[in-house]
Amino acid sequence: MPFNHNDHYHPLLLDLLPPGPGIALDVGCGTGRFARRLAATGMAVEAVDVSAAMVEAAAGLGSPGPGEIVYRQADVTTDALPEAHYDYISCLASLHHMPFETLAKLRRALVPGGVLVVLGLARPSTPVDWARAIAAVPVNALARLVVYAGERLNGGPEDGPKAPVVDDFPTMAEVRREAARLLPGSTVRPLFFWRTLITYREHGVGDPTGG
C-alpha cells in the first residue's frame, strides 16, 4: 500500500518525546523508518524486530545521526529487558502480534518520567468508532492516489522485505480496558486511518510529577 498509515503518525509520536536526548527502544522496528527519525532527534536507539530479514534491511540503512541506532533481532515477549532503562519506548503496529500483557513488561523498562507510545490497530466498538472508520475510506483512497503518483514520478516504490500481516485485532473496548489495567493513568486516543494511540508516562522517584 503506497500510503503508510503508521508513517503518517510519526510526527505525532515524536511530539511525545520526553525532554532531552536519552535512550529509546523501538519495538517491531521493521525497516527502521521510525528508529531513524528517533536518531535524528539525538536519541540513542535500540531497534528490535523478530524478523531477521527486517533487521538486516534496517541495519543496511544505518542511522542519519546524531543519535546512534543498534539494530538486533529480538522478541520482547520472551527476551529479557532491562528495567528502568529507557526514556522512550515506541511500539508501532506491533502490539497485535503479541500478548497484551507485554505492555506491563514495557512499562517496567521505563525510567521515571519515561514515555511509552503504542500505535496500534483496533476494531470499532461504538457507533462513533464505526463512523470514524467509514469516514477514513475516501480520504485514504485520495492519499493512496497522491502517494502512488509521487512514487511513479520518482521511479517506483522501494523494494524490500515486507512485514507480516495479522488481521486479528482487539476491539476498541478491549484496548481501553487492558490499557487501564496494565498502564494505570494511560490515555487511549482513537486516530483517523484505523489507528489507536496509547500513551503512558511512568511516574516515580526522579519524576517531578510523580510520587
Torsions phi, psi for 190 (to 5 deg): -70, 135
What the block records as the C-alpha cell of 32 is 527502521
Region 43-53: what's the mean pLDDT? 94
Q: Output the CA–CA distances (angstroms, integers) from residue 75 to 48, 109, 178, 196, 206, in the order listed.
A: 8, 14, 21, 23, 29
Task: Categorize the per-residue pLDDT at 108 as very low, low, confident or very high, splitting at 50, 70 and 90.
Answer: very high
Better-predicted residue by pLDDT, 186 or 7? 186
Check residue 211 and give its pLDDT.
36
The reported pTM is: 0.81
Better-predicted residue by pLDDT, 61 or 111? 111
- Taken in order of first residue, the domains within the chain and their CATH numbers are 5-124+162-201 (3.40.50.150)
Is 71 in contact with 55 (CB distance < 8 Å)? Answer: yes
Nearest to 202 by CA among 100, 93, 97, 83: 83
Reported as a single tens digit per residue, the pLDDT across 70-88 is 999 999 999 999 999 999 9
Is 21 in contact with 86 (CB distance < 8 Å)? Answer: no
Better-predicted residue by pLDDT, 187 or 192? 187
Check residue 110 and give its pLDDT.
97
Check residue 18 and give its pLDDT.
92
